[in-house]
Amino acid sequence: MQPMIIILKDGTDSAQGKSQVLSNISACQAVAEAIRTTLGPRGMDKLIVDNRGKATISNDGATILKLLEVIHPAARTLVDIAKSQDAEVGDGTTSVVLLTGELLKNARTFIEDGMHPTIIIRAIRKATALAIKKIKEIAVNVKADDAKEHRALLEKCAQTTLSSKLIARQREFFSKMVVDAVLMLDELLPLNMIGIKKVTGGSLEESRIVAGVAFKKTFSYAGFEMQQKKLLKPKIALLNIELELKAERDNAEIRLDNVTEYQKIVDAEWSILYSKLDKLHKAGVKVVLSKLPIGDVATQYFADRDMFCAGRVQEDDLRRTQKACGGAIITTVENLEDQSQQVLGTCEVFEEMQIGSERYNLFSGCPKAKTATMILRGGAEQFIDEVERSLHDAIMIVRRAVKNDSIVAGGGAIEMALSRTLRDYSRTVPGKEQLIIAAYAKSFEIIPRQLCENAGFDATNILNKLRQKHTENNIWFGGDILHEDVSDNLVAAVWEPAVVKINAITAASEAACLILSVDETIKVPKSSAEPSNAAKAMNMD
């Protein structure tokens, strides 16, 4: 008898062949299934509770997939493309997953029929290239010269994104806000310069945007209430220094052999603190913000001199204040007076304000206002969280649209146009690829189909109407959710930046190809599971 040769570690799970591809496809479809109802203006939300009992209510594909904790290796690919879509363009995360799922579903029959995956992959690549070319060809360029028109474009893109979110009813209001915020930024449009602060209570319409910085009142010591709460044109010092009476060095020990020395040491400590405070005061600083704590002595010192201070300010808030008001974050107060021009910031008005039950520090009228803060209001915490996610999507879309002003019509219109183009093209291809490109064309129809299904319409009926319209070269016809009909979505101002679609199609095709090209999965078992669990338990203790 021949001896058995063990190549893989005992317990390794390996699956291969055609059936493996098929099973991977089923897994991906199951994931796509989980989020399909979130698509479109009539899409629903998911409530997911994690193991720690934290609940999230969301409509954002990437957020949901992240929270689902997918462990199937092939299905994880879908989570990854949703994440990359989120990082790259911010919106369209649900559509990219749906599209991949549908592509795989249509490829399945060919695999079952014994077609080689590489042929399918080649055809998909070809079709993708064609689709992208088509998008670039038909995308409408909106003239960006006119500031007003440019703004209208941005607002419409933001509105399209927001229409599927919880705040769909208030989308006009929020799209204005988002566009305002993005336009305030500098060339690079850094995302972290838009601060979003959440205050529960109040209605959505009470949300506001501050051209400048706002942050929550920090922890304060006695004496804080006596400080000035409104200052005009103050000089602002941003510090990274602790203004507290404390041991200068932690491990130092002073040895005294004489009582008279005692008082000197005490005085020395006080004078260290006081000289810092004096320098700030002399430089004409009116508002002192510090990343590190500001102690009670300092608070009272400032209160005495009509200055305002806030310690333990969050780092990103401090940084945004610096961006808005100019100046620099100072690590020493030496020579402050001489350099006050360079290192101190300023703004028109500084004010402490009550918003809901919280108090906020507001800096407005900043000279270098390349930053904006949105203060969101709303009923419940989870509500505001979801609003924040929605606005994030809208901000990302607007940022994209600012740089790239070519747009396509949403609501399934662009997908139908692509579907038609590819179908027409497939007829001209001899060989197996014809079938696959036709299937690819069909896959695009999932977007309008799902939109209709979520709205409770007869999807087949609407799709037939759409196909008919598109054959007549009405390329911008898409579903009209409000009237259960089809309409020209370019006229109806359902707009999306073309780059979002291009990215979605590329990502979806790549993911589909990746999954199709895998024919074997080798899963190495966890190295002797029992002791590792025990080790974990020990670590936990």
The answer to whether residue 277 forms part of the interface with other proteins (CB under 8 A) is no
The answer to whether residue 539 forms part of the interface with other proteins (CB under 8 A) is no
If DSSP states are collapsed to H, E and C, what string results for 10-42? CCCEEEECHHHHHHHHHHHHHHHHHHHHHCCCC
**For residue 535, how far is the Cα from the chain centroid?**
37
Convert 409-447 to b/e letters by CB count within 10 Å (16 or more is b): bbbbbbbbbbbbbbbebbeebeeebebbbbbbbbbbbbb
The answer to whether residue 456 forms part of the interface with other proteins (CB under 8 A) is yes
Q: How far is the CB of 120 from other proteins (least distance, A)?
A: 19
Question: How many Å apart are CA 518 and CA 512, to the nearest integer?
Answer: 10
Question: How many Å apart are CA 411 and CA 455, to the nearest integer?
Answer: 12
Among the listed residues 86, 91, 317, 393, the single catalytic one is: 393
Among the listed residues 93, 218, 346, 506, the single catalytic one is: 93
Q: How far is the CB of 77 from other proteins (least distance, A)?
A: 12
Q: Which residues contact 468 (CB under 8 A, 6 or more apart)?
A: none
118 included as an active-site residue: no
The answer to whether residue 518 forms part of the interface with other proteins (CB under 8 A) is no
The answer to whether residue 11 forms part of the interface with other proteins (CB under 8 A) is no
Q: How far is the CB of 23 from other proteins (least distance, A)?
A: 4
Among the listed residues 38, 56, 60, 321, the single catalytic one is: 60
Q: Which of residues 379-398 bind other proteins (CB under 8 A)?
A: 379-383, 386
Identify which of residues 191 and 265 has a Cβ nearer to other proteins in the complex.
265
Query: What distance, in Å, lies between the first and last C-alpha atoms of the chain?
Result: 51
60 included as an active-site residue: yes
Question: How many Å apart are CA 362 and CA 296, to the nearest integer?
Answer: 23
Identify which of residues 17 and 531 has a Cβ nearer to other proteins in the complex.
17
Q: What type of residue sits at position 165?
A: K
Question: How many Å apart are CA 100 and CA 75, to the nearest integer?
Answer: 11
The answer to whether residue 278 forms part of the interface with other proteins (CB under 8 A) is no
Q: Which element (helix H / strand E) includes 216?
A: strand 212-216
Q: How far is the CB of 177 from other proteins (least distance, A)?
A: 17
Identify which of residues 64 and 418 has a Cβ nearer to other proteins in the complex.
64
The answer to whether residue 44 forms part of the interface with other proteins (CB under 8 A) is yes
Please report, for residues 157, 240, 502, the alpha-carbon distance to residue 95 in angstroms, rounded to integers and kept in the order given.
16, 45, 12
Piece of 40-48, 143-151, 366-374, 395-403 that binds other proteins (CB under 8 A)? 40-48
Q: How far is the CB of 58 from other proteins (least distance, A)?
A: 10
Piece of 36-44, 83-91, 100-108, 498-506 that binds other proteins (CB under 8 A)? 36-44
Identify which of residues 51 and 428 has a Cβ nearer to other proteins in the complex.
51
Identify which of residues 32 and 184 has a Cβ nearer to other proteins in the complex.
32
Q: What type of residue sits at position 525?
A: P
Q: Which of residues 66-125 bind other proteins (CB under 8 A)?
A: 68-72, 75
Identify which of residues 122 and 281 has a Cβ nearer to other proteins in the complex.
281
The answer to whether residue 514 forms part of the interface with other proteins (CB under 8 A) is no
Number of residues that bind other proteins (CB under 8 A): 85
For tokens 């130092």, the residue is 252
The answer to whether residue 530 forms part of the interface with other proteins (CB under 8 A) is no
93 included as an active-site residue: yes
Q: Which of residues 201-220 bind other proteins (CB under 8 A)?
A: 201-204
488 included as an active-site residue: no
Are 195 and 210 spatial neighbours (Cβ–Cβ below 8 Å)? no
Identify which of residues 182 and 280 has a Cβ nearer to other proteins in the complex.
280
The answer to whether residue 284 forms part of the interface with other proteins (CB under 8 A) is no
In this chain, which of 8, 55, 328, 534 binds other proteins, going by CB under 8 A? Answer: 55
| Contact track, other proteins, 254-273, x by CB under 8 A | xxxxxxx-xx-xx-xxx---
Question: How many Å apart are CA 375 and CA 199, to the nearest integer?
Answer: 7
**Coil, strand or helix: which one is 154?**
helix
Residue 41 backbone phi and psi in degrees, to 5: -65, -20
**Coil, strand or helix: which one is 398?**
helix
Are 68 and 34 spatial neighbours (Cβ–Cβ below 8 Å)? yes
Identify which of residues 221 and 364 has a Cβ nearer to other proteins in the complex.
221
Convert 52-67 to b/e letters by CB count within 10 Å (16 or more is b): eeeebbbbbbbbbbbb
In this chain, which of 113, 137, 187, 225 binds other proteins, going by CB under 8 A? Answer: 225
By annotation, the residues acting in catalysis are 60, 93-94, 393
